[in-house]
Amino acid sequence: GRSCDAKGIIYLSNIRMVFVATHPVGNFFDFDMPLLDVHDEKFNQPIFHCNNISGHVESYRALYSTHSFKILFKEGGCRAFVPLSLNLISSQPQMDPLQAAQTPVDEMMRHAYVDPNDPTRIFLQQPVHSRR
């Protein structure tokens, strides 16, 4: 796979981590990591290199494979960031990939009708407004 080496800023929320490059490298501007899709995360403290967090992120698009990442802390800052980010990642609910991939057919059928003669046509129920 391809790799990209860029300096930038990481924004962390309870939903995602977003790396935004200070100076874009080619067509790489940012990298969005939904915390729900991050796994195998690990804090590394090598002897001859800077502290870092590494892990993998699942891709939403079926054509793309799992991405690996490594966040290097060359200017410090890992003392506050690492425990907070690892705690947020570990607190994300784990989903069964097979269950997540299933289409909610029962719920869909309550609100729509598919013509069996032409499955490209879908008829939706209109909301009923009560008159007062």
pLDDT on residue 40: 93
Q: Pick from 49, 43, 38, 54: which is nearest to 88 by CA?
A: 38
Read off the pLDDT of each residue in 90-99 and give the average, rounded to a whole number. 69
Cβ-proximal residues to 41 (8 Å cutoff; 6+ apart), any chain: 53, 54, 55, 85, 86, 89
Backbone Cα Rg of the chain: 22
| Fold of the 8-97 domain | PH-domain like (2.30.29)
Predicted local confidence at residue 1, as pLDDT: 60
Q: Which residue has the higher pLDDT, 122 or 59?
A: 59
Weakest mean pLDDT among 6-20, 37-51, 64-78, 112-126: 112-126
What's the rounded Cα separation, in Å, for the pair 105 and 126?
19
- CA 35/CA 15 separation, integer angstroms: 6
Q: Read off the pLDDT band of 42 (50, 70, 90).
A: very high
Please report, for residues 98, 103, 119, 130, the alpha-carbon distance to residue 112 in angstroms, rounded to integers and kept in the order given: 24, 14, 12, 21
What pLDDT sits at residue 112?
62
Share of residues in the chain with pLDDT > 70 (%): 67
What's the pTM value of the predicted model, to 2 decimals? 0.64
Rounded Cα gap, residues 119 and 17, in angstroms: 40
Where do the domains of the chain lie? Answer: 8-97
pLDDT band at 55 (very low <50, low <70, confident <90, very high): very high
Task: Tell me the pLDDT band of 113, cut-offs 50, 70 and 90.
Answer: low
